[in-house]
């Protein structure tokens, strides 16, 4: 999926089936089975966290 010159190359979700459905709907090539797998993938340049606000700190801490 491309928009404004950017490529959405992967998706992750705590529910694997939802991630797969989203990826299929928007033709996204990669689905992660865990957030840790996504956070440590050297091909990922940007991660957009779209979870409830009270969860952001934990995810950001895991990424850094």
Block means of pLDDT (10 residues each) for the chain, length 64 residues? 76 90 92 87 83 82 80
Q: If you search the block for the tokens 């797969």, which residue do you land on?
A: 20
Q: What pLDDT does 1 receive?
A: 67
* CATH code: domain of residue 47: 3.40.50.720
DSSP tag of 26 = T
Domain count, the chain: 1
Q: What pLDDT does 21 receive?
A: 96
Q: What pLDDT does 56 receive?
A: 79
- Domain of residue 46: give its range: 2-63
Tell me if 56 sits within 8 A of 36, measured CB to CB.
Answer: no
């Amino acid at each position: 999926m491309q928009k404004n010159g950017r490529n959405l190359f992967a998706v992750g979700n705590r529910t694997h089936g939802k991630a797969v459905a989203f990826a299929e709907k928007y033709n996204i090539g990669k689905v992660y089975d865990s957030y840790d797998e996504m956070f440590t993938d050297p091909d990922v340049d940007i991660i957009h966290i779209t979870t409830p606000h009270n969860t952001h700190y934990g995810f950001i801490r895991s990424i850094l």
